């Protein structure tokens, strides 16, 4: 078995924590939206996961924890997806993408 540094282990644990958090968020959204969730394509859900992952990694945890993900509507999800559809995620600075996603998330009541 190759040697694995503590840094590599830490990075992997962080990645797993982020993925699990996004998974839980997606599940809350899916539950709230109900049968309409099926209107989102697999590509859209993958894009949503990417956008939420970026936002999760860059958000202040205290603000993030206050977002009522279980109240996010289909229209909110569409607005989040619009961010990814109109911004090149691989070329746009991360903070710009995150700021646009956060505008939608922090507006949810």
Torsion, CA 94, CA 14, CA 19, CA 55, rounded to 10:
-30
pLDDT at 94: 79
pLDDT at 36: 96
pLDDT at 33: 96
Which of the residues in the chain have pLDDT under 50? none
For the chain, the domains span: 6-107
pLDDT at 2: 66
pLDDT at 84: 86
Using one digit for the tens of pLDDT, what is the confidence trace for 18-30? 999 999 999 999 9
Torsion, CA 109, CA 24, CA 31, CA 101, rounded to 10:
40
């Amino acid at each position: 078995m190759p040697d694995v540094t503590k840094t590599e282990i830490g990075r992997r644990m962080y990645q797993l924590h982020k993925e699990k958090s996004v998974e839980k968020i997606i599940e809350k959204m899916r539950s709230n939206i109900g049968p309409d969730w099926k209107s989102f394509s697999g590509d859209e859900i993958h894009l949503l996961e990417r956008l939420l992952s970026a936002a999760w990694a860059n958000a202040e945890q205290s603000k993030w924890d206050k977002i009522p993900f279980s109240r996010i509507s289909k229209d909110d999800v569409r607005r989040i997806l619009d961010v990814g559809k109109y911004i090149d995620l691989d070329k746009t600075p991360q903070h710009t993408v995150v700021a646009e996603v956060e505008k939608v998330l922090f507006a949810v009541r």
